[in-house]
Each structure stands twice: as C-alpha cells, then as structure tokens.
Structure 1
C-alpha cells in the first residue's frame, strides 16, 4: 500500500470510528429510556425537566474551554452532547423528531447559509459573510431581506434565549447602534445614581414586584456602564464568584472549627487574611 493510499484510508477509518461512537451513544441513551429495563430517572425526564442540565453543561463546557485542559474539554463536550442526544430521544419517543433529523436539519442550514463555500457566491470580507447570513435568515423566516425587522423583535429574541446578563449587554448594544444612547459617560453615571435612588425608595415599600423592577433597572444601568467601559459583566461576575470561593477556601483552611461558630468580627478578620494571602500568591 502506497503512502497516498494509506493517507486516504486514515480519514475514512476515523470517520467510521466517529460514526460508531455516536451510534453507541444513541443506543445507550435509547436503552436508558427503554420501558423494558431502562433507568427510572431517565424515563421520568421531559424536555422541560432537562433545561437546567442543558444550561449547566453548557456553562461547564465553557469553563473547560477557558481552562485550556483538553481532557476536561473532551469530557464536558461529551456531557453536552448527551443532552442533545437525550432531548432527541425523548422527542423520538413522542414521535416528534429524531437525532437524524436534527443532524440533517443543521447540515442543510449550514449549507444554505454558506453559499460562498457550497455554491458560487463570492465574498471578500467577514462583513460580506454576515450580510449574506442575515439575508438568508430573513428569507427563511418569510421576511423581506431588504427591510430590517423591528428592533423590538430582535431584542425580544435575545431576552428569551440568552442568560440575563448576556441578554442585557446585547440589548444595550443593539439599542445604542440605532442611536438610543447617552451622549457621554456622564449621562450613564447620572442614570445610575437615579436608578440607585429609585431602588432605595422601592425598598422602603412592601411591594416586591416594584422592588424587583427597580433592581432590574439598576442592574441594566450597570450593564450599560460596563458597555461604555468595554467590560464584560458576565466575566466580571464570574470572576467575583470565583474569588469569593477562593477566599472562603482560604478561611476554611485555617479555621479550627466550623465557620458558623465564629463571630462576624472573627469572620471578617479571616476574610481579610484570606484576601492578603491570595494577593501574595498572585
């Protein structure tokens, strides 16, 4: 066998192994969902009950990617793939659709939305790709690609489909693009002070709905501040969460009893010590 023949066989062997592995996963999930000897937990699941797991696995996949650890990335991608296969199996059990249709649908969409790769359309820049993509999406939805859809329709999609912080940033940016924007950062800070005052006033009442509304307004203004300073609020909050846990770990490492047995003053002292140690390690 020549080197050329061997190199042609290797991709085919890899493809066969990949398809076999996917088929095995599908068979495993089908067995878990089988009324005859399946797993009671898997049988009890619905598309809605699995939503928290879909979100959790997506975030854990992101964390693994950020870590740069190939082993962790591979494992988390597997967990995320399981959620796709499990959702498709539940739908198949209900005679709605199956994994084959899911894969075919996304393949057809990718081919349709990349005419510069799979057809004769020519593009020069990424902006050309984006414009073509948006026009094709509009046609798919029965819309006129030459008429921009109402901004509110686009923003509603972000609010429905994205985590709140991410949606807030998207909504803020898109609104700014059409001119719904402060003239300077001073205006954003003034709005922040206004919303902070209104939130404090709401807290003086007993109306929870009003309190949450004012808290939402305040948080949205903070998101706008982040946008003006070119900061990522999701990454910022994630970093704060991680630092809080790291400091708590440091506190527990030196504590000689449960943290609940310490006074507030003692906990504050442990907290400051933990911060100092972490700064030294940094």
Structure 2
C-alpha cells in the first residue's frame, strides 16, 4: 500500500460521507464502511469524476484469500469481480503530477513577489484594478500569437495571461476573499455542470443542442443565485459592461434578434443603414459632438447587424482590415526612401495602389482608395 507523505494528514471518512459531502483531495483519504458491491460501484463512479481511470487506489479488508488484506489496483479495476467480504475500505493516495508541481512552483514565485519584506516594489504596489489593463493586453497578445500560428509565442503569451490570473488570485487570497484553488475548483465544477452530456445522462447530438443546454443551465444557475429572476435587459447589460464595444455590439445584436427584435429580411436592415447614414451626415452639419457621436454609434451598430445577417464576424473583419492596413503601409515604406509625410497625396495614392497590387488577395474588401475623409476613424475590437 502507498503510504501518505510524512507531513501529510490522513483523512478518514465513511463511504456515506464521501458520497454526500465529498472529500478533501489534497490529502490521502481512507474511505471506510463500504458494505456492498453496489456501494463500491457508486464510489468508483464518484472517484472517476475527479481522477483518471489509471489512478492508483488500494482495496483493504478481507479479500477472500488467506493472508491477503490489501490489493493495489487502478481506479478502473476497483469494482472488478473479486472474492471480498464486506465491509471493505478503499485508500486513495495523493499523486502529485508534474503539472501540479510546476503550478505550485509558479504560485510560490508570485507569492514571493508579493512578500511585504522581500517582494518586488512594483508587484507590491499593484491592486486588482491596476492590473486589469494587463489582463486585456495579454489576452490580445495571446490571440495575436494564435492567429499567427507561432507555437512558441502561443505558449509564452498563455503563460503571461496565466500570470495575470495567478496575480489576481494572490491579491484576493491576501484579503481572504478567495484563492487560486477556489478559482480552479469553481471552473471545474462549472464545466461539469454545463456539460451534462459528458458528465451526466443528458444527450446532445449536435452543437446546437449543446448551446441550448448550456444557455438553459446558465439561466438556471443565475436564477438560483438571485432572489429575483434575471430580466432580459440585465442579461444584455452584462455584455456592455464586460466586453469590448464591437464584440458587445455583436452579442447585443444576436441576443436582441433571438428575442424577436429583428427585421423580416435583409432589405429592412439595408434601409435602416441608409437611414442612419443620412442622420449621421446631417449631424455633421451641426457642432454638437455628443449628437454626432450618438449618430455614429447608431450607424456602426447597423453595420454590425448587416454582418450578422450575412453570417460574417464583424470583430474578425475589422481585425483583418487593421492587419491589412499595416501590411500595406509596410509595403509602401519598402517602396520609398522618404517618410510618408513628405509625399504628396497623389504620390501616396500611387504607392497605395502599388502596395494593394503586391499584397492582392483572392477576395478584396472595399477600401479601394487612400483618398478618404481626414477625420475617419476605425473602432477597436476583441475578447477572451
């Protein structure tokens, strides 16, 4: 039998308590009073939800053979047909994986950075709020690395993003709010709840069914957490608070349409676009910047609706255009020895068309000319 580490405490629980209250997985566990094959099978299923099938366990008790009081098995073998005399016990050791060791080392490093006496002055000065820009920055950089397909960069950027998660958990643990364990255990339990077709008896044969189940379970969870049912506007408000504007707009458009706030056909969307375009143009005749901004927002949101009707990703489209613009400017710089500011508009137009030709793609979006209004701007996009 595998003995617990010298400084580890052995947790002893009855099988009834283990099944109803759970067990602490950070210490070795001895589960007692297993009184039937059915109870053993139930325990096995509960342990398989937390451990892989090959996880080592020890069966203890009268195993039916002379002088044999224990047998080391894998979790998958736990309820194999053996001649045992109930009640029996099951010992579940602590197995520390390389991943657990690496994560423990990393969390220790972050904790040291926050040590009041020997820590880093910069890390000690941070608050949850001061770190939020870095979460966004690292998420953007991780997305960029993924889009570039650079495996080494992806691993590095995901590490930088993980640092922000661990830092937030470290700050919270110092205030005794929550710990990294709470974070990981919470998301693990959520994934199991939200995937009953994997961890339960629910059937889901298609992605649409999975999405529908997910939304139903999510709504039920939120209703449990609140004394009053969440109204539709509250759900929409979450997107405006938590997502970048362009992504929030796409979500709002999708959810509003699903709730019935939708045009009958795309012609209605185009009519709305031209209406908003005219109103924006009219607003530019005044000096009311607040009104102009409002009309511009209406126009942009209508474009998001058009993208949804065309089954296009407006966030990906804008990201692609941003990248294309930088690539074309890079090509222009390669074709001239002068700074761009020293060229005339006609020269820049020629260089732009040359760059466009050199970087031509099978499908070209509509930005055919550099001659555009001087005050035109591009909104920003993204998320995790």
> TM class by shorter-chain length?
0.7 to 0.9
Q: Secondary structure at the match of 1:255?
A: coil
Q: Distance in 1 between matches of 2:141 and 2:149?
A: 13
Which residue matches 1:101?
A: 182
Relative distance call for 1:154 and 1:40 in structure 2 (3 A) is: same
- The normalised TM-score by structure 1 is 0.85
Equivalent residue, structure 2, for 1:22: 103
2:341 is equivalent to residue 254 of structure 1: no
Q: 1:131 to 1:270 in 2, by over 3 A?
A: closer
Equivalent of residue 280 in structure 2, options 190, 199, 202: 199
In 1, the alpha carbon distance for the partners of 2:339 and 2:222 equals 58
What is the correspondence of 1:130-141 to structure 2 with a 5 Å cutoff? 130-141=211-222
Report deviation, 1:257. Answer: 2.9
Alpha-carbon spacing, 1:220–1:26, altered in 2? closer, same or farther (3 Å): same
CA shift for structure 1 position 231: 1.2
Is the CA contact (8 Å cut-off) linking 2:223 and 2:229 kept in structure 1?
no
Per the alignment, do residues 114 and 188 of structure 1 end up closer, same or farther by CA in structure 2, a change over 3 Å counting? Answer: closer
Distance 1:130 1:280 in 2: 35
Return the alpha-carbon distance in structure 2 between the equivalents of residues 8 and 206 of structure 1.
Answer: 71
Aligned-partner SS, 2:115: coil
Pairs within 5 Å for 1:259-270: 259-270=340-351
- Mark the runs of 5 or more structure 1 residues left unpaired by the alignment: 1-6
- Unaligned runs of 5+ residues in structure 2 are 1-53, 57-94, 364-384
CA contact (8 A) 2:197 2:204 kept: no
Kindly indicate whether the alpha-carbon contact (under 8 Å) linking 2:280 and 2:292 is maintained by their aligned counterparts in 1: yes
Q: Which residue of 2 aligns with 1:3?
A: none
Distance in 1 of aligned mates of 2:190 and 2:245: 27
- How far 1:237 moved relative to its partner? 0.6
Shift of 1:83: 1.0
Q: Distance in 1 between matches of 2:155 and 2:229?
A: 40
Name the residue aligned to 2:136: 55
**Match for residue 289 of structure 2?**
208
Is 2:32 the counterpart of 1:32? no
Distance in 1 of aligned mates of 2:203 and 2:359: 50
1:85 is displaced (CA, Å) by: 0.6
1:189-215 deviations in Å (ceiling 9; x for gaps): 111111111112222222222111111
Further displaced range: 82-91 or 173-182: 173-182
Instruction: Look up the SS of the partner of 1:48 in the other structure.
Output: helix
RMSD, aligned CA:
2.8
Q: Between Structure 1 and Structure 2, which shows a larger proportion of helix residues?
A: 1
Specify the alignment match of 1:185 in structure 2: 266
Q: 1:65 aligns with which of 138, 146, 155?
A: 146
Match in the other structure for 1:4: none
Which structure has the larger Rg? Answer: 2
Q: Which has the higher contact order (CA 8 A, sep 6+)?
A: 2
Deviation at residue 97 of structure 1 after TM alignment: 1.6
1:161 to 226, 242, 253: 242
Q: Normalised by the size of structure 2, how large is the TM-score?
A: 0.64
Pick from 202, 221, 224 the counterpart of residue 122 of structure 1. Answer: 202
> Counterparts of 1:174 and 1:281 in 2: how far apart (Å)?
33
1:86 counterpart = 2:198: no
Structure 1 residue 131: Cα displacement: 4.2
3-state SS of paired residue (1:256): coil
Of 258-267 and 71-80, the range deviating more from structure 2: 258-267
For 1:279, what is the secondary structure of its paired residue? coil
Could you tell me how far 1:15 is from its partner in structure 2?
A: 6.2
Question: Structure 2 CA distance, aligned partners of 1:176 and 1:135?
Answer: 18
With 15-24 and 130-139 compared, the bigger mean Cα shift is at: 130-139
